[in-house]
A and B are shown apart, each in its own frame.
Chain A
Amino acid sequence: MPDGTPPFVHIEGLKRHFDVSPPWLVRLLERRGRQIVQAVDGIDIDIAKGETFSLVGESGCGKSTVARLVVGLYGPTAGHITFDGNDIGQRRGRTQTSALRRRLQMIFQDPYASLNPRWRVFDIIAEPIRAFGLAVDKADLEKQVGDLLRQVRLTPADGRKYPHEFSGGQRQRVSIARALASRPEFLVCDEPTSALDVSVQAQILNLMMDLQRRFGLTYLFISHNLAVVYHISTRVGVMYLGRLVEQAPTDTLFKRPKHPYTRMLLDTIPDLDLTGRQRVPVAGEVPSPINPPSGCSFHPRCPFANERCKRERPQLLPIEGGAVACHAIEEKRLTIEERSYANAR
């Protein structure tokens, strides 16, 4: 952080490995070793209060694992996550944990799976209020839930309904209302709009931006959709195979992308103005995180890779207000080009 104050959310050297080995006997008979998926393999992120930090990447790059680590659904294999000065992984007393959890909530991808179908919407939204003891009496609880429903552009009368009576977009509004119920400061959003239609996606994104302005919320936004990320975020981190390959302020990342993977992702976005034009398809696919390639994990797909890239893992080095992990950029083999998007409508 430039001014020396500790960042609101600080993630340092975060790792999470999953053991996907076959059972012990099978390993013994087939003489195979353990298999470890390095889902998140050393990530550092700082998020300032009131900003939206987005993580983008293809499926399997570990972005959702980061989200789950940050809210404490997984414990980290190594590294720390500090939230407003408190270490999330550290064990502490029940009241302290509860106080921390109240300030940190999550919105999930699938609004069909994340709401209990047997509960009325009122109870779904009231649960965090009850759990954290935020309402003085029943009338207060009803007022709070009603206000929350209005904030997400539903009506208090909707509280009597069950989740199945709502459309996907409305259910996602209910999830947002539930996440806001405990008056959190930090929201982790794991692909909140990818299950929704575009017109509904626009409604939800607008709602999220309105709520952020109104309550000064901080977002960690996980998405695979670069166009969505472009609209909602202050800063963006690009993940590839469990590592951050580039992070930068949004405008810098989209105008002057540096890492070859970021450039590739930007090249492959289908855009409305591409009518008739050919997208440049990229060769290759994301390798398995069980056996990541040596050195820079992107080197098998990278047109600029050389011997050093195969051997040595690049470190994130600061550049133009962001950071990039690429030997070609470091050695200045690869020039940074300005991108223009002619489609400003």
Chain B
Amino acid sequence: MATGRSVSNNAPLLEVRHLRVEFPTRRGTLLAVDDVSFEIAAGEVLGVVGESGAGKSLTGNAIIGLLEPPGRVAGGEIRLEGRRIDTLPYEEMRKVRGAMMGAIFQDPLTCLNPLYSIGRQLVETIQTHLPLPAGQARKRAIDLLKEVGIPGAEQRFDHYPHQFSGGMRQRVVIALALCAGPKLIVADEPTTALDVSIQAQVIALLKRLCREHGTAVMLVTHDMGVIAETADRVAVMYAGRVAEIGPVREVIKQAKHPYTKGLMGSIPSLGHRADRLTQIDGAMPRLTEIPKGCAFNPRCGQRGLRCLVERPNLMTAGGSLAACWLHDRQGVGGAVAGELADA
């Protein structure tokens, strides 16, 4: 069974169950992540894709416990190696984060302190989480820099972030994430700020490190191409929910959810030139205006009456799970006239 559950039979490394993230605002509470469940096995790369506002970054931030207030986890649970981490007090969480989980963000420049040399930042992180004397911590930092492919690691140790190029900075951030030998890395758009040729280098590096260290990765990105070559499984998010989750080949080649199909079609591809790209009309709904029933129904070409009233949960669809009534035995429940859907 290769479905929402991870491929291996062992207990999953990370388990997210019915996660809800909400933002209380003056006009009411916005539900940004709604009932999201998935698992990641040790050494597995789970890609999370979706358009901006789909809630993919918030899911990642909730896992590493870095939701920015007023955002908060309002329900569900997150377990790392069976231990519940979403309810940990701040100081406890600080120890888990860093030691067990590493984070890589989109913009490497804002992740690094411009006033400290990268060596000092690495050593600080290592000593926070590992009981190493200064000399050994320094050695480990240099080894990490070598491992992420920074030429002349010994000399570069004392350099400041501004002396590195974008690609090199992202390598430093990866080294920082690896400092304490974490089990899980949450990488939020790690290659978006980089040029394609550098992007390929960083992706190759991330893949190699995961293979060698057996680190699991949650790769959050909007770039399907990056997911296609990196991830083992992929979760497609739409309007705060998981629309489809399954093995990467399955999701790309035989998408089950109409949204995933549209998303795949709208990616311009080499080798196949059409007069028009497939497009999904409309835009993702705002959090304040999520439609009743399936959130995708106003943009869906295959919607039925049932989609307007009843919200689908993830159900088995071929080798994946999809949240779509098309895969239910009772179907979408009759075609809908356009006027009714607009009303």
Q: B-contacting residues of A (Cβ < 8 Å)?
A: 58-59, 167-170, 197-203, 205-206, 209, 224-228, 230-231, 251, 254, 264-283, 285-286, 340-345
A167-B283, A199-B51, A254-B270 as given contacts; A271 in contact with B197, CB under 8 Å: no
A200-B283, A224-B195 as given contacts; A282 in contact with B200, CB under 8 Å: yes
Closest 4 pairs (CB-CB, A-B): A341-B271, A270-B225, A202-B266, A197-B51
Q: Which A residues are in CB contact (< 8 Å) with B280? A: 199, 202-203
How many angstroms between the C-alpha atoms of A151 and B226 in the bound complex? 34
A58-B195, A268-B197, A280-B200 as given contacts; A274 in contact with B271, CB under 8 Å: no
Q: Which B residues are in CB contact (< 8 Å) with A197? A: 51-52, 222
Interface bracket on B: 35 or more
- Evaluate contact between A270 and B263: CB separation under 8 angstroms: no
How distant is A265 from chain B, measured CB to nearest CB, in Å? 7
How many angstroms between the C-alpha atoms of A272 and B85 in the bound complex? 35
How distant is A305 from chain B, measured CB to nearest CB, in Å? 17
List, sorted by A's number, 17 A–B pairs whose CB atoms are closer than 8 Å: A198-B266, A200-B51, A224-B196, A228-B268, A231-B273, A231-B274, A231-B277, A270-B200, A270-B225, A272-B252, A273-B228, A274-B228, A275-B248, A281-B200, A341-B270, A343-B269, A343-B270
Q: Which B residues are in CB contact (< 8 Å) with A270? A: 196, 199-200, 203, 223, 225-226, 228-229
Q: Which residue of B lies closest to A254 (CB)?
A: B270
Q: Which B residues are in CB contact (< 8 Å) with A201? A: 266, 268
Q: Which residue of B lies closest to A206 (CB)?
A: B276
Q: Which A residues are in CB contact (< 8 Å) with B51? A: 197-200
How distant is B176 from chain A, measured CB to nearest CB, in Å? 20
- Evaluate contact between B204 and A278: CB separation under 8 angstroms: yes
Q: Which B residues are in CB contact (< 8 Å) with A205? A: 268, 277
Binary A-proximity of B200-241 (CB < 8 A = 1, otherwise 0)? 110110000000000000000011111011000000000000
B267 on the interface (CB 8 Å rule)?
Answer: yes
Q: Which residue of A lies closest to B259 (CB)?
A: A199
How many angstroms between the C-alpha atoms of A266 and B51 in the bound complex? 25
How many angstroms between the C-alpha atoms of A58 and B232 in the bound complex? 29
Most buried by B among A198, A269, A271, A343: A198
- Evaluate contact between B249 and A275: CB separation under 8 angstroms: yes
Q: Which A residues are in CB contact (< 8 Å) with B68? A: none
A205-B268, A279-B203, A281-B200 as given contacts; A199 in contact with B229, CB under 8 Å: no
